[in-house]
Homo-oligomer: A and B are copies of this chain.
């Protein structure tokens, strides 16, 4: 949570594909270079690089700094986190430029997530593994699936609510030339898609891709001299739930399945920005699975407890609705760049540069990273 003088000034992507045929270093370098150019900067202006990875599936920021031929690297972080990282790293970059550690930090995530180590196959070797593995409870979507099942049960929501998220986001993807999944999806075809782990159908799950995404975080005074309108970092917050970390299965120990990290960091996040949930005009919610969108909307106070599905089914979160959500199609449709692209989409929208999918009111955006009991969030605003 912060008191920053910082903004996102540029974003960059590679193509997203099933098989890039390229090294992760090449992907990272291309996305970072594109973001730097998009910000109106040259490589000589950038003095910070940060990133995150799991399973050694990416490259270090120093290697990318070298590949970019940055003249000076004053700030660098390589963080051992997954989907909870993007907003957290943008927050750290905001703190860095606010305290003079750097002027322009490029934050990236790069992975061959489909042709290389697949995130969906990642296992967690915490203390609980000895109990989980013998019963075949060993993959990330199983943890999230059980959590989602209980969340639906406790809040009275159903597969129709999950399906509404998938359908709404797929419609956005059709206005996003970058999206990997662009074929139309309606509720019937959603319900016809195969169950992977109950309650998840294939359409509830993000799509693994090869690719990279980067954003440039700049000191606010520098941002104001650049061509794009600054996407001001009004607040950033991170939270890990109590008892988290010894094993990813630890969430089974909590007694309230309807809460996740977004509900825990919400009050601090909004207070730091001097805003309230009602001020949010659109949201980009981390969506490794459809369920996390419902949890995130409720957790942030953008929907009532148990009311997120109804909000989505009403069309309010679709383009033209009163609270557009995951306007790039989300990770579900654009592709799983581990949520870095969720932040980039938020910045593009706040800057008014989202083209066919631009939301009309784009002064205040809530962004999240992460799914369960630890994660991070940002409030991005126009430079008012």
Q: List chain A positions with a Cβ less than 8 A from chain B.
A: 1-4, 53, 60-67, 69-81, 91-92, 94-96, 98-101, 236-246, 250, 265, 268, 272, 374
A20 to B70 Cα, complex, angstroms: 43
The residue in A64, A92, A236 that gathers the most chain B C-beta atoms within 10 A of its C-beta is A92
A239 to B3 Cα, complex, angstroms: 25
A242 to B67 Cα, complex, angstroms: 10
A79 to B76 Cα, complex, angstroms: 10
A91 neighbours in B (Cβ, 8 Å): 101
Let me know if A246 and B66 touch, CB within 8 A.
yes
A101 neighbours in B (Cβ, 8 Å): 1-2, 91, 95, 236-238
Q: Which of B73, B243, B268 contacts A66 (CB 8 A)?
A: B243
A250 neighbours in B (Cβ, 8 Å): 66
23 A–B pairs (Cβ distance < 8 Å), ordered by A: A1-B74, A2-B99, A2-B100, A62-B240, A64-B245, A65-B240, A66-B242, A66-B243, A66-B245, A70-B242, A72-B239, A73-B238, A73-B240, A74-B237, A76-B374, A77-B79, A78-B79, A80-B80, A94-B99, A95-B95, A98-B99, A100-B272, A101-B238
In order of increasing CB-CB distance, the 3 nearest A-B pairs are A62-B245, A73-B240, A95-B95
Closest to A66 in B: B245
Q: A95-B96, A244-B66, A246-B66 are in contact. Are A238 and B1 (CB under 8 A)?
A: no
A99 to B95 Cα, complex, angstroms: 6
Closest to A236 in B: B101
A79 neighbours in B (Cβ, 8 Å): 77-80
A65 neighbours in B (Cβ, 8 Å): 240, 244-245
Q: A62-B245, A95-B96 are in contact. Are A78 and B80 (CB under 8 A)?
A: yes
Let me know if B60 and A80 touch, CB within 8 A.
yes
The residue in A60, A65, A81, A95 that gathers the most chain B C-beta atoms within 10 A of its C-beta is A95
A240 neighbours in B (Cβ, 8 Å): 62, 65, 73, 76
Given contact pairs A73-B242, A76-B238, A77-B79, enumerate 4 new A-B contacts (beta carbons under 8 Å).
A65-B240, A72-B242, A76-B240, A101-B236
A94 neighbours in B (Cβ, 8 Å): 99
Q: Which of B76, B100, B237 contacts A1 (CB 8 A)?
A: B100
Q: A78-B80, A80-B80, A238-B75 are in contact. Are A3 and B60 (CB under 8 A)?
A: no
Q: A100-B2, A101-B95 are in contact. Are A74 and B245 (CB under 8 A)?
A: no
A244 to B76 Cα, complex, angstroms: 12
A268 neighbours in B (Cβ, 8 Å): 74
A244 to B69 Cα, complex, angstroms: 10
Q: Which of B4, B73, B374 contacts A239 (CB 8 A)?
A: B73
Q: Which of B74, B80, B95, B242 contacts A71 (CB 8 A)?
A: B242
A374 neighbours in B (Cβ, 8 Å): 62, 73, 76
Closest to A2 in B: B99
A4 neighbours in B (Cβ, 8 Å): 99
Let me know if B2 and A60 touch, CB within 8 A.
no
Closest to A77 in B: B79
Let me know if A74 and B239 touch, CB within 8 A.
yes
